[in-house]
Structure 1
Amino acid sequence: MTDPVHEDGICGEPAATGAARAGTGWRVEWATGDLIDGTARAARHADRVRSVATTVVDGRAVAVTGGEDEAVLVWDLATGERMGDALPARGSVWAVVTTVVDGRPVVVVADPDTSAQSWDLTGRRPVAGLVGGAWAAATAVVEGRPVVLTGGSAPWLQMWDPATGEPLGDLVGDLSTGRVGAVVAVVTAVVDGHPEAVTLHDDSTVHVWDLAERRHQDRVLPPTGGSRQRVSLSAAVVDGRLVAVTGGWDGRVQVWDVATRTKVTGRAPLTAHTGPVWALATAVVDGRPLVVTGGEDRTVRVRDLASHRHLGSDPVFPSEVTAVAMVPDGRLVVGFGGDIAVLAPSPT
């Protein structure tokens, strides 16, 4: 059963200053700032969190966060302890993504001004990188090897090896479909054993790419503008079909069948946010494909992508939500302002 979200909090309760209202179905396990006990904690970003990813380091589940403070922080997911010093960045970090190279966890840090850099999280050392800024990044496995995809102001994707920095080819857009704008988001998925990428561009178009053949496959969605501008993207495989999930400036969350380029309505419409949807992530939990959304209205929502069913009520945060991730065990990692919170499903 789900509860309605109100402007001033959840279930009619006023939102507490500096505190998160977890809502029915969620509990706050830990958070930076003063979210839980009213005591400010020093371990936080100095500016807005833009991206979050999860991985395992030395047997410990961790979250990796990147922010506009030019820092990348690593957190123990169980305790909230900050693990080591911040990894340096040369500019505002727009994307952090994780992969595994030779059995070792690696994070790729992308900033729009100077570079994309991979770091070994076990040894805390830089591994490889590409010169040139990147607005978006994703990882995949292509022909048995881990690869990184980065995109930026140019209308193509760069594929490279996170262990060596070796360029593995550029994926160039099909200009016959019209202008292909700068890449602002990229996500990957495996469909019938075949790796594919889905991209969102600055003209609001969405495209799909064949990673094995290193080519542009199709334009999935046409340009939009105004309040219908798409500002966030994720992707998942639902019932064997690749779907793209987009978040709009107007708060709408929509699901699209990539192969047919049609909207998937499910059994119920997806409830919109009351402002831009800045954060999107998908995960498979207990065999179910789920999508997590967060936005300017300070709320986070979780939905089942197969049924579109809303799971639990909506956690509310003190500031707009700009980054989300879901761990395979169902925990949520949320970035809002310069803070991080981890929420776990409640038995209720």
Structure 2
Amino acid sequence: MVDEQLTDPEFLVNTDPGEVVALLDKASTPAARVAAEVYRASAYFHQQASPGTRRQLLTVDAVSCGARELATQVASVPVEGQPGEEWAVEWATGSRIEPRLLRSVRRPASMLDPVAAVAVDGRPHVVTHTSQAVRMSDLVAGEQAGETITSENDEAFEGVAAVVVDNRPHAVTHDSRTVRMWDLTTGEQVGQPITSENDEVFRAVAAVVVDNRPHAVTHDSRTVRMWDLTTGEQAGQPITSGDDEAFEGVAAVVVDNRPHAVTHDSRRVRVWDLTAGEQAGATITTSDEVTAVAAVLINDRPHAVTGDTRGAVRIWDLTTGEQAGEPMTGHNGDEVAAVAAVEADGRLVIVSVGCLTWTKGGFIPGVMRVWDPAATWLAGERLTGHGADVWAAATAVADGRPVVLSGGRDREVRIRDMDTGLPVGPPLDTRTHVHAVATTTVNGHLHAVVGTGFPHVLVWNLATGREMDGPQGHVGPVCGAATTVVNGRTVAITGDAEEATVSVWDLAKEELVGWLPTASWGTSAPLAAATVSGRPCAVIGMGPNVQLWDLATLQQTGQNLTGHTGKVWAVTTAVIGGRPYAATGDDDGMVLVWDLTAMEQVGNPLTSDSHDVTPLLLTEMDGRPHAVIGGSTGKVQVWDPVSGEQSVREWRFPRPVGAMAFGQDGRLVVGFGRDIAVLSRR
């Protein structure tokens, strides 16, 4: 019955997500397990999504997983009160898809780090805390278990650990000066509180059972200590860091009946024998900064679980110092704030929590993810996306085939066949973040112009693979790039995000044409190229204004175009009905469309709910310009500035939309999170 429900696309789209999620772990047939894998990919969005939005999310996730047949079936599911979809997903990469991910839950904004995990009756539970309360939740049922623990004084809870004592789950909490233990079944404090006896404050706590007695393991900046929670007395030997690196986190595990502490600083993970007070096992040195640590026994061998600043969760063998298996990367490049691990019913379960992220619209809560490290890939072959968020995209034709270029936070530009999504050659190594990509043809060879965060402009001859430097002199990340022809010379126009300096660079001669004498607004200079009244021009955002610059004379044409209430972050241009138009978006979420020949606004201002309009395009519909808007909400919207209404039903992606581009045939390239998708109109 369960397998039949999970393989019914109408059930997946129209049924309450809570009912669906409760069935996912019960899938047994290959088809049902694939459907469960697809549903889990965006499960934390499904709860708040309408059936129509859920249909879109499931379609994208199914394509990303390689489950093409399921994607086709889901896209065709009727939804009451809504028409069929107007976009079709041709392909999508699946870097965000993790077969080891069991479920995702949006963390409450009040939830603090860290978290703890504990097994109760063979079922994994997570213990979380706010400043004033501690709660335990059953990870299988998805509901609270036991009693809520509340702070009884002015001291807020600053950390939590968990331990099983006499077959009952207990929480161990700390504030700056005191460690306490609580029975999670009754909500009552038990044992003796531990009080700091010196000027150092408790920075973290772990818990472990030694000789059937619960113990807390704490650290201040330089020392790790173990405490008997029954007597409140210190036990074992204190451990000192031994160098200038302060302890930043601690976990605990019992190895051969001896308690051990696992600590981390920014780049090291070490294990210590708390009885002898000395290091045991290998020192693990990491390439990425460690932000959280947990400890667990796997086949009777001690292992550390770490989270890092790049969003990866890793398992390390503490005996050999080697990484065990591949990293779990479902946090999509966002920093991991906390990790916990527990063995429940013979299966290792890991919990990781993403950091709160700030946008102009406020804090976006991180996501708490639950992992089964032993799970394997079930669906079809998937396309690999980027290693971090995509911030720039462009299209071109190379050797007669359409291609997509994309880049972002993983410091490379990838080139893909637009028809298949398959890579075309190796990635271009930019050595720093990619903020802008543009393409053009020089002497018959396709070139890519890349704005980076060094701040450098890099230029590649994609036919020969030769890399060339662009203009030197930008003082901030180069966030704007475009190409055009000026007096027979193919040029690149680039603008930076520090002093809003804009350069014009001859791509054939590899020399500077000049700098536009822009007045610095101390902000970014998003830009695009256009031909206005037969003259090549650059359209540039300067603070709240939009300016048109003649690239032959390197002088501004006309007056500033005004109307924005915030700083202009995005500029795009297109020729519609033989006339050049521009669309501009600001950090208040306002989008304006301009007739560049008349130098006047078209229609009414459009307002996006993303607050940070960065990817922005123009397209022609019914002979008029329409704005295509993306942003942090994951939506792609098409707006008519004359009517002020959406002209195509919006499409929702499971990650923020950071880049967009149109192909020559009108297909839409969307960069969302670490992934890329190509959509076509039905």
* TM-score normalised by the chain length of structure 2: 0.44
Which of residues 61, 81, 86 in structure 2 aligns to 1:19? 61
2:91 aligned residue = 30
2:490 aligned residue = 146
Q: Is residue 209 of structure 1 aligned with residue 250 of structure 2?
A: no
Deviations 1:102-133 (A, max 9, x none): 11111011113131111111222214423344
2:631 aligned residue = 295
Q: Secondary structure at the match of 1:170?
A: strand
1:278 aligned residue = 614
1:102 aligned residue = 443
CA shift, 1:71, in A, is: 0.5
Q: Is residue 67 of structure 1 aligned with residue 403 of structure 2?
A: no
Distance across 2 between alignment mates of 1:104 and 1:306:
40
Q: Is residue 318 of structure 1 aligned with residue 654 of structure 2?
A: yes
Distance change in 2, residues 1:218/1:149 (3 Å):
same
Deviations 1:311-330 (A, max 9, x none): 43111101110100111212
What is the 5 A alignment of 1:138-287?
A: 138-152=482-496, 153-173=498-518, 180-201=521-542, 203-222=543-562, 228-238=566-576, 241-258=579-596, 262-265=600-603, 270=606, 272-283=608-619
Distance change in 2, residues 1:103/1:244 (3 Å):
same
Q: Secondary structure at the match of 2:463?
A: coil
Distance across 2 between alignment mates of 1:190 and 1:215:
15
Distance change in 2, residues 1:241/1:331 (3 Å):
closer
Letter in 1 for 2:86: G
1:3 aligned residue = none
Distance change in 2, residues 1:340/1:12 (3 Å):
closer
Q: Secondary structure at the match of 1:313?
A: strand
Deviations 1:193-229 (A, max 9, x none): 211111113x33221101121212245245966xx44
Distance change in 2, residues 1:28/1:338 (3 Å):
same
Q: Secondary structure at the match of 1:189?
A: strand
Distance across 2 between alignment mates of 1:12 and 1:289:
26
Distance change in 2, residues 1:39/1:316 (3 Å):
farther
Q: Is the 8 A contact 1:238 1:305 kept in 2?
A: no
Distance across 1 between alignment mates of 2:441 and 2:544:
31
CA shift, 1:285, in A, is: 8.3
Deviations 1:86-106 (A, max 9, x none): 101031010010001011111
Q: Is the 8 A contact 1:159 1:169 kept in 2?
A: yes
Q: Is the 8 A contact 1:292 1:300 kept in 2?
A: yes
Distance across 2 between alignment mates of 1:286 and 1:102:
37
Q: Is the 8 A contact 2:388 2:674 kept in 1?
A: yes
Q: Unpaired runs of 5+ in structure 1?
A: 1-5
Distance across 2 between alignment mates of 1:45 and 1:83:
14
* TM-score normalised by the chain length of structure 1: 0.83
Q: Secondary structure at the match of 1:11?
A: helix
Q: Is the 8 A contact 1:71 1:88 kept in 2?
A: yes
CA shift, 1:171, in A, is: 1.4
Distance change in 2, residues 1:343/1:204 (3 Å):
same
Distance change in 2, residues 1:220/1:123 (3 Å):
same
Q: Secondary structure at the match of 1:276?
A: coil
2:193 aligned residue = none
Distance across 1 between alignment mates of 2:423 and 2:449:
19
Higher RCO (CA-CA < 8 Å; seq separation 6+): 1
Q: Secondary structure at the match of 2:470?
A: strand
Q: Which has the higher helix share?
A: 2
Q: Is the 8 A contact 2:655 2:672 kept in 1?
A: yes
Q: Secondary structure at the match of 1:296?
A: coil
Which of residues 64, 73, 77 in structure 1 aligns to 2:418? 77
Q: Is the 8 A contact 2:618 2:627 kept in 1?
A: yes
- Once the two structures are overlaid, the 10-residue window that deviates more, 296-305 or 91-100, is 296-305
Which of residues 135, 154, 161 in structure 1 aligns to 2:479? 135
Q: Is the 8 A contact 1:65 1:96 kept in 2?
A: yes
Distance across 2 between alignment mates of 1:40 and 1:154:
45
2:219 aligned residue = none
How many residue pairs align between the two structures?
A: 332
Distance across 1 between alignment mates of 2:579 and 2:442:
28
Distance across 1 between alignment mates of 2:537 and 2:440:
16
2:318 aligned residue = none
Q: Is the 8 A contact 1:116 1:132 kept in 2?
A: no
Distance change in 2, residues 1:10/1:101 (3 Å):
farther
Q: Is the 8 A contact 1:187 1:198 kept in 2?
A: yes
Which of residues 328, 337, 340 in structure 1 aligns to 2:673? 337
- Once the two structures are overlaid, the 10-residue window that deviates more, 145-154 or 234-243, is 234-243
Q: Is the 8 A contact 1:183 1:199 kept in 2?
A: no
Distance change in 2, residues 1:288/1:222 (3 Å):
closer
Distance across 2 between alignment mates of 1:200 and 1:168:
21
Distance across 2 between alignment mates of 1:130 and 1:315:
38
Letter in 2 for 1:208: L
Q: Is residue 90 of structure 1 aligned with residue 431 of structure 2?
A: yes
Distance change in 2, residues 1:42/1:30 (3 Å):
closer
What is the percent sequence identity of the aligned residues?
Answer: 37
Q: Is the 8 A contact 2:582 2:618 kept in 1?
A: no
Distance across 1 between alignment mates of 2:671 and 2:530:
24
CA shift, 1:308, in A, is: 6.7
CA shift, 1:136, in A, is: 1.5
Q: Is the 8 A contact 1:10 1:316 kept in 2?
A: no
Distance change in 2, residues 1:12/1:283 (3 Å):
closer
CA shift, 1:192, in A, is: 2.8
Q: Is the 8 A contact 1:127 1:163 kept in 2?
A: no
CA shift, 1:292, in A, is: 2.1
2:211 aligned residue = none
CA RMSD of aligned residues (A): 3.2
Distance across 2 between alignment mates of 1:79 and 1:248:
34
Distance across 2 between alignment mates of 1:125 and 1:285:
40
Distance across 1 between alignment mates of 2:594 and 2:511:
34
